[in-house]
Chain A
Amino acid sequence: MSGEARGALPVLRERGQHEVFCGLTGIVWLHRKIQDAFFLVVGSRTCAHLLQSAAGVMIFAEPRFATAILDERDLAGLADANDELDRVVERLIARRPDIKMLFLVSSCPSEVIKLDLSRAAARLNERLRSGVRVLSYSGSGIETTFTQGEDACLAALAPLLPREESRSLLVVGSLPDVVEDQFARIFGELGVAVRFFPARRSDALPPVGPGTAYLLAQPFLSATAQALEKRGARRLAAPFPFGVEGTRGWIEAAARWAGVSAERVEAAVAPAERRARAALEPARERLEGKTIFFFPDSQLEVPLARFLSRELGMKLVEVGTPFLHQEHLATELALLPGGVRLSEGQDVERQLDRCRAARPDLAVCGLGLANPLEREGITTKWSIELVFSPVHGYEQAGDLANLFARPLVRAGRLSV
Chain B
Amino acid sequence: MQLSVWTYEGPPHVGAMRVAAAMKGVHYVLHAPQGDTYADLLFTMIERRTTRPPVTYTTFQARDLGRDTAELFKTAARDAYERFRPELLLVGASCTAELIQDDPAGIGQALGLPIPVVPLELSAYQHCENWGAAETFYRIVRACVKAAPREKRRGTCNLLGATALGFRHRDDVTEVTRLLAQLGVSVNVCAPLGATPADLARLPEAEFNVALYPEIAGPTASFLAKTFGQPTIPVTPMGVGATRDFVRQVAELTGKDPGPALAGEPSRLPWYSRSVDSTYLTGKRVFVFGDATHAIAAARIATEELGFVVVGLGTYARGLAREVRAAAARYGVEALITDDHLLVEEQIAALAPDLVLGTQMERHVAKRLGLPCAVISAPVHVQDFPARYSPQMGFEGANVIFDSWIHPLMMGLEEHLLAMFREDFEFRPGVAPSHLGGAPTSPTSPAAPAPTTAPAPVAAPAPAAPAQAVKTEAKGPPAAPAAPTAPQAAVWTAEAEQELKKIPFFVRGRARKNTERFAAERGLASITLETLYDAKAHFSR
Contact = CB atoms under 8 A, between A and B. Distances in A.
Interface of A: 16-25, 35, 42, 44-50, 52-54, 59-63, 65-72, 74-75, 81, 84-85, 87-88, 91-92, 108-109, 111-113, 140-143, 145, 176-178, 181, 271-272, 275-276, 278-279, 281-282, 349, 366-372, 375, 389-390, 395, 398-399, 402
Contact of A141 (B4, B7, B34, B541): B34
B541 A369 contact: no
A112 B62 CA distance: 9
Contacts of A49: 7, 10-11, 14, 38-39
Contacts of A25: 35
Q: What secondary structure prevails in chain A residues at the interface with B?
A: helix
Interface string B364-399: 100010000000000000000000000000000000
B128 to A, nearest CB: 7
A368 B2 contact: no
B266 to A, nearest CB: 34
Sorting the interface of chain B by its residue count into under 10, 10 to 19, 20 to 34 or 35 or more gives 35 or more
Contact of A395 (B34, B56, B533): B533
B84 to A, nearest CB: 9
A26 B368 CA distance: 26
A108 B33 contact: yes
A89 B5 CA distance: 14
B95 A46 contact: yes
A173 B79 CA distance: 39
Interface in B36-76: 36-42, 44-45, 48-52, 56-62, 65, 76
A182 to B, nearest CB: 8
A61 B337 CA distance: 22
Nearest to B12: A45
Nearest to A180: B502
Interface string B523-541: 0000000100110110011
B23 to A, nearest CB: 18
B6 A141 contact: no
Given A46-B95, A53-B38, A140-B33, A282 B126 contact: no
B313 to A, nearest CB: 23
A364 B61 CA distance: 24
A371 B540 contact: no
Interface of B: 1-7, 9-11, 13-14, 33-42, 44-45, 48-52, 56-62, 65, 76, 79, 83, 94-96, 99-100, 124-126, 128, 361, 364, 368, 424-427, 499, 502-504, 530, 533-534, 536-537, 540-541
Contacts of B65: 112, 142
B34 A68 contact: no
10 contacts: A16-B59, A17-B58, A21-B34, A21-B38, A25-B35, A35-B425, A54-B38, A141-B35, A141-B96, A398-B537
B125 A368 contact: no
Contacts of B541: 278-279, 281-282
A16 B83 CA distance: 14
Contacts, number: 210
A65 B1 contact: no
Contact of A368 (B38, B48, B95, B128): B38
Contacts of B61: 142-143
Given A140-B33, A370-B44, 6 more contacts: A35-B425, A54-B38, A66-B5, A141-B33, A366-B41, A371-B50
A375 B61 CA distance: 31
Given A68-B1, A349-B83, A50 B35 contact: yes
A41 to B, nearest CB: 9
B99 A112 contact: yes
Contacts of A52: 6-7
B533 A371 contact: no
B34 A22 contact: yes
Contact of A72 (B52, B125, B425): B125
Contact of A88 (B3, B425, B534): B3
Contacts of B6: 48, 52, 59
A46 B11 contact: yes
B41 A53 contact: yes
Contact of A369 (B44, B48, B60, B533): B44
A16 B56 CA distance: 10
Tell me which of B38, B51, B424, B536 has the highest count of chain A C-beta atoms within 10 A of its own C-beta.
Answer: B38
A22 to B, nearest CB: 3
Given A109-B99, A375-B51, A402-B540, A46 B10 contact: yes
A389 B504 contact: yes
Contacts of B51: 372, 375
B2 A112 contact: no
Nearest to A74: B1
A16 B499 CA distance: 45
Given A46-B124, A109-B96, A375-B51, A178 B502 contact: yes
A254 to B, nearest CB: 21
B213 to A, nearest CB: 20
Nearest to B60: A142
B426 A46 contact: no
A71 B58 CA distance: 24
Contacts of A278: 537, 541
Contacts of A113: 99
A309 B35 CA distance: 30
B45 A371 contact: yes
Nearest to A73: B1
A181 B502 contact: yes
B524 to A, nearest CB: 16
